[in-house]
Amino acid sequence: MKNSTKQLTKAFMDNMIIFFLTLIFSLPLGLLVAFGRMAKFKPLQYLVKFYISVMRGTPLMLQLILVFFGPSILFGWKTPDNYRFYAVIIGFALNYAAYFAEIYRAGIEGVPRGQYEAASVLGYTKIQTFWKIIFPQMCKKVMPPVTNEVITLVKDTTLAFALANIEIFAVANQMVSKQATILPLFIAGGYFYVFNFVVAFVMECIEKKLNYYS
């Protein structure tokens, strides 16, 4: 039992690496995608809308498979052995950036137009207006939906098994087959519950810190 828990803990660390790297890349990428989605240049706006539509309208597992096999099928490239892990991160980041982009867009558009006018009167540039006035208010507005996406991401890391990448439920399933008991699955589920509880608590604390914008 002790050895099984140790193996599951090590496997869960792989899930957490996927989780944190996905957030590091998808959160800022989502903001860039949101800018493209709201761009006045129509070709760029339509291209970004199509990207978001594809990312949100197709299964994440399929996207991971396409990212992994795409370079060799489309361009005949021979991918390195460690590309499997990179494909997982790329696939997750591209997928979640699309969701975050729509959340950001809703938050930005939810800021009253009067804020822009007031900033203009004060002599703020467009960049200063966004980062000093709009962005902080947007963060406050988008925290609940972002929290939901972050919690979903924790659970979605199990989809890394689609590319035969080591993760906790793949290890738990192997243990179930060898040990003829479903206990490893419950232990794995417990890991996810505890981590999601911590994530929800941290996000709630951040949301409270932003209450002065309400």
Q: What is the pLDDT of residue 72?
A: 85
Q: How far apart are CA 97 and CA 157, in angstroms?
A: 15
Q: What is the pTM of this model?
A: 0.90
Name the least confident of 53-62, 144-153, 173-182: 173-182
Q: How far apart are CA 106 and CA 146, in angstroms?
A: 12
The residue whose two tokens read 């979605």 is 156
pLDDT of 176-195, one tens digit each?
888 778 888 888 899 999 99
Give the burial class of 106: count Cβ atoms within 10 A of its Cβ; 0-12 exposed, 13-18 middle, 19 or more buried: middle
The residue whose two tokens read 């589920």 is 189
Q: Band the pLDDT of 213: cuts 50, 70, 90.
A: low
111 touches 118 (CB < 8 A) = no
Question: Residues 112-139: what's their mean pLDDT?
Answer: 87
Higher pLDDT, 204 or 212: 204
- Closest-CA residue to 160 (of 16, 22, 15, 58): 15
CATH number assigned to the domain covering 2-213: 1.10.3720.10
Q: How far apart are CA 171 and CA 179, in angstroms?
A: 12
Question: Residues 50-76: what's their mean pLDDT?
Answer: 92
Q: ∠ CA(15), CA(19), CA(25), 5° rounding? A: 145
Q: What is the pLDDT of residue 89?
A: 96
Indicate the helix (H) or strand (E) that contains 193. Answer: helix 183-209
pLDDT of 97-121, one tens digit each?
999 999 999 999 988 888 888 888 8
38 touches 105 (CB < 8 A) = yes
Q: Band the pLDDT of 212: cuts 50, 70, 90.
A: low
Q: What is the pLDDT of residue 1?
A: 60
Q: What is the pLDDT of residue 152?
A: 94
Question: Residues 140-145: what's their mean pLDDT?
Answer: 91
